[in-house]
Amino acid sequence: MNEPVVNLELAIEHGLSEEEYDKILKILNRTPTYTELGIFSVMWSEHCSYKNSLLQLKTLPKEGKQLLVEAGEENAGLIDIGDNLAVAFKIESHNHPSAVEPYQGAATGVGGIMRDIFTMGARPIAALNSLRFGELDNNRNKYLFDGVVKGIGDYGNCLGIPTVAGEVYFEDCYTDNCLVNAMTVGVANKDRIAKATVKTVGASIYAIGSATGRDGIHGATFASEELSEESEEKRSSVQVGDPFTEKLLLEATLELIKEDVLEGIQDMGAAGLTSSSAEMSAKSGLGIEFNLDKLHLREENMIPYEIMLSESQERMLAICKPGKESEFEIVCKKWDLDFALIGRVTDSKNLTINFKGKTVADIPSYYLSAGDGAPVYKREVKVPDYQNDLNSFDTNNIRSKESTEKEFLKVFSSTNIVSKQWVYHQYDYMVRTNTVIGPGSDAAVVRIKGTNKAISMKTDCNARYVYLDPRTGAKIAVAEAARNVVCSGAKPIAVTNCLNFGNPYKPDIYWQFSESIVGMGEACRVLQTPVTGGNVSFYNESDKWRVYPTPVIGMIGLIEDIKNVTPSGFQNIGDLVYLIGETKNELGGSEYLKVIYDKVAGMPPEIDLEIEKSTNETILNAIKSGYVVSAHDVSDGGLSIALAECCIINKSNPIGIEAKISSELKEHQVLFSESQSRFVISIKPNFKSDFESLCNSNNIIFQSIGETGGNELNINDLFNISLSKLIDVYYNTLPEIMNSK
């Protein structure tokens, strides 16, 4: 095929601006080749360069005594947990591909984040996700939901990695743009950590794994634009996954690292061969030269542009230590992996691409690297015109519309509240037999074999709060994620994030983004949970819908002794139940306001981060002291929903409660307020005085609200609902919706 003539018009078609095209001409001191234009277009796309977010991301707290690599330095964050062990973890989006091709979009999202983990020498031990869809009365939303869940389940199940936690929300604003954020956690030996670097001029460069095809070409630029009616035509931008090859690649990569034959290794993720090679070259200050004739391809007549931009899955770029080539190839053959020696490390500092005897690209790698020579911008900010009207809505004027019981059941049956068992029963969350607490609880817990340690993990974000007040909402996202891992008995130690927003060139969107970064940073500093890295996904909007700003937090917590693992639900009859924290009249952005009044308005709950930190530390102290039987945070839907969940989370052994809550608030405020820093705790009766003394000594607000027992949920005699009815509503609502035509 004849390559197009490169000019400004073609550059703009590739997503580059006139200013950026002029910069390319100056860098090269000539007109770029077609292959070079493609390389610049993907490496300067939002997805690869973070050009509209990098300056803000640099303000986040990224230091901590347990951090082993700086944020963004490697494929994933890495935390020292002692005993020569480290935890690698990261979250990334696959939103646009999933909105067009839900099954493959979600599946390859899982595969990609897995590779980021095992490329560092960490064996994946768990997968998580954070999902957002439009309301399920829309058949396309049901189709997307069904396809995404199947894609996540099939890929993870085939790979043999348990999917142990996540969150699912439904709001109209996600109708055209579902959000599919995938997270993976892995464990590595500190002395077997691999890096994405090159070190030695002349070192051999291999491509290993699947053959390169035309799937996923321009996937990075596709993820850097708004969805439109034409997006359906871009199905070729969606990659196709093969989890069986991924399993071989996983085992081979870990063995190559163990055998110490690698200088560096990098996943061919977004922008494929281009990003993996350019990033390694720029980071190391050395050049990389390829001969694309050597690469194993699965389609005929592919041109260099297609080869370099392909995002075919299950591929790695590996730099072999000189003299170790034979050992390298033996490992690849052992695992039946295709491989090809495609290049060498040079001293040129350039990415040089040869094909059929010609040099088709020769670019200084520095200019392809995010934070180095790639463009960086800070966009205009403007408070949205609707913000004042949104926030001025007075929730004090809200009154109950129906009986308390009817309102409770309406909120309790919301798709945002009910059990997501329909989702996680499609996942094998017990594979590898390390899962201690699985899906459906505050946070998942996975033990580390050969130790007494366990890792707690959770994804979290209430996007309504962020929509109403981005700074406060982002603080709450961090705080609630921390609260969830505390409930499991873990100390929060670090976060990753996946920042899902609309078009950054729109000043009100950029204001939401900037404010969210400030709030997130503040919370992470107070809670001492540094940000180890993550992902930014802009352009999540269409002609009709714009997603709520959704900065998803992936939180990791450490449990030093597995005996401290704590479940969410009531465990025994006769335990004492406490409400920890203060309940205020805070219904702004609440599930109650949305379900009963069909409104998302007002101000989100206030949060005092110092109180949050002190409360978390007190609860952890009580857990370690052996006082606590169960712990559950009070969040979406308020106290009434939290108590109901405590009764039936342990579905095989439901336990009721007759709760008496003292408050000067109105009934609906007591039941449905979403005030922060609150827990429902059950303790052993003989520890009553010890537990209360601990709370008093730390100035923690608490009240005893009853004891466990019976077959009903009764709160202040406002209603009396059988546990069997709660179980029916909680566990059957979502399956009934998805099974209906």
- Catalytic residue IDs: 47, 94
Counting beta carbons within 10 angstroms of the beta carbon of residue 349, is it exposed (0 to 12), middle (13 to 18) or buried (19 or more)? middle
Residue pair 59/515 in contact (Cβ under 8 Å)? The answer is no
Instruction: Tell me the CA distances in angstroms from 527 to 226, 445, 486, 557, one per residue in order.
Output: 35, 20, 12, 12
CB 644 within 8 A of CB 713: yes
Contact 540, 547 (CB under 8 A): yes
Q: Distances in Å between the alpha carbon of 606 and those of 177, 471, 602?
A: 29, 11, 12
Considering only CA atoms, which of 211, 206, 723, 127 is closest in space to residue 439?
127
Q: How many residues does the chain have?
A: 741
- Single-letter amino acid, residue 610: E
What order of strands is seen across the sheet that includes strand 576-580? Answer: 628-633, 679-683, 576-580, 702-707
Q: Which helix (H) or strand (E) holds 681?
A: strand 679-683
Centre a 10 Å sphere on the Cβ of residue 20 and count the other Cβ atoms it contains: 18
d(CA 621, CA 617): 6
**For the chain, the helix, strand and coil percentages under 3-state DSSP, each to the nearest 5:** 40, 25, 40
Q: Are 633 and 483 in contact (CB under 8 A)?
A: yes
In 101-212, alpha helices (H): 102-118, 139-159
Full strand arrangement of the beta sheet holding 287-291: 262-267, 315-320, 204-209, 339-346, 287-291, 350-355, 358-364
Q: Decide: helix, strand or coil at residue 278.
A: helix
Residue 463 backbone phi and psi in degrees, to 5: -70, -25
- Residue 223 amino acid letter: A
CA distances from 585 to 43, 394, 659, 663, 678 (A): 49, 11, 19, 11, 14
CA atoms of 134 and 422, how far apart (whole Å):
17
